[in-house]
Amino acid sequence: MNSRRPDDAPILQIEDLSVSFSTATGQVKAAENVCFKLYKGETLALVGETGCGKSVVASSIMQLLPNNAHIQGRAIYAGRDLLSLSEKEMSRIRGSEIAIVFQNPSLALNPIMRVSEQIAEMLQVRKGYPAAQSLELAGEMLHRLGLQGDDKMRMYPFQFSGGMNQRVMIAASMILSPRIIIADEPSKGLDGALAAEVMAEMARIKNQVGASLLLITHDLNLARNISDRMAVMYCGEIMEIGESEEIFSLPRHPYTAALLRCLPERGFQPIPGPSPSMIKPPAGCKFHPRCPNISEVCRRKPKMTRVEGRGTAPAGSESEIREVKCWRY
């Protein structure tokens, strides 16, 4: 685990990001007023249940959303708003500045291209390296991720297991030493142990290249193990953000608390009530229909509020140390 340096200016700053899609049944609000900062070298986990909009956030940063998505807000990277870049400009940022690791690695790799070529391709296209050299570098990268040997270089994705493909994806994302890596549910489809192993390697390399990691996952334990900070999303909104350990030990938002109670080690206590609709979310605090300590005020929209935590960061530093979107604070 990497200790963050909160004094640094954020490398990526998401401001008021809202994404919605229009469908036949209505406007789906996939993300609403999402704000967070990603600092250099840190790992920020964006956690939440299926359908809470965490992947949409990642895709909109990369401008990988379909062009019919309505995106508002800003994603400031190196002084530029990524959301306003043209496709051509964006393609220069993708991969070399900001890389993304998809879920479903076995589908995300080109099935009829050798894995080594898929990694080396980046060097050839973006850096203009000759084929031999780039293949060599790709091999090195694979080696670092525990896939050594010439035979591995000549393999195709279908010959690899999901875990191995995930490593290939990670290698392809990291080959150009990007400054930010976004990992979108990288553990999905992998066994618990394997997921941990892959993530550990990912974290290691991330540290080696000095990149920041935005980890998007529904796996709370994974997030806890890897991330420095954690943002909990519910129904398109960030409910709580703070240091991972702290959130685990002292969840402030009722949703975070309820979610944690569902964990096996905490006794599988289910959250009452059904998940909210993304098209017509509850007014006010979106969690209020399921919240155990609901009050009248919850029908209005709460604001993100800074609360004092027991965090390691010096008080008053610029980072959001612990913010909760709940009227109780």
Binders in 243-262 for another protein, by CB under 8 A: 258-259, 261-262
Query: Which of residues 22 and 249 has its CB atom nearest to another protein in the complex?
Result: 22
CA distance linking residue 313 with residue 309, whole number of Å = 9
Structure tokens at 45: 């986990």
Do the Cβ atoms of 174 and 141 come closer than 8 Å? yes
Give the distance, in angstroms, between the CA of residue 49 and the centroid of all CA atoms in the same chain.
13
Query: Which of residues 62 and 313 has its CB atom nearest to another protein in the complex?
Result: 62
Q: By CB under 8 A, is residue 278 in contact with another protein?
A: yes
Query: Which of residues 89 and 318 has its CB atom nearest to another protein in the complex?
Result: 89
Write out the binding residues for another protein, residues 147-176 only, by CB under 8 A.
156, 158-159, 161-162, 165, 169, 172-173, 176
Q: By CB under 8 A, is residue 222 in contact with another protein?
A: no
Among positions 71, 75, 109, 239, the unique one binding another protein when judged by CB under 8 A? 109
Provide the β-strand partners of residue 182.
Answer: 100, 214
CA distance linking residue 19 with residue 246, whole number of Å = 29
Stretch that binds another protein, among 18-26, 143-151, 291-299, 301-309 (CB under 8 A): 18-26
- Can you say whether the dihedral through the CA atoms of 74, 79, 82, 83 is positive or negative? positive
Query: Which of residues 168 and 313 has its CB atom nearest to another protein in the complex?
Result: 168
Binding track, positions 68-107, relative to another protein; x by CB under 8 A: xx-----------------xx--xxxxxx--xx-xxx-xx
Q: By CB under 8 A, is residue 203 in contact with another protein?
A: no
Provide the β-strand partners of residue 37.
Answer: 13
Provide the β-strand partners of residue 70.
Answer: 20
Q: Is 88 helix (H, G, I), strand (E, B) or coil?
A: helix
CA distance linking residue 124 with residue 120, whole number of Å = 6
Provide the β-strand partners of residue 197.
Answer: none
CB 321 to another protein: min, Å: 26
Q: By CB under 8 A, is residue 141 in contact with another protein?
A: no
Q: By CB under 8 A, is residue 64 in contact with another protein?
A: yes
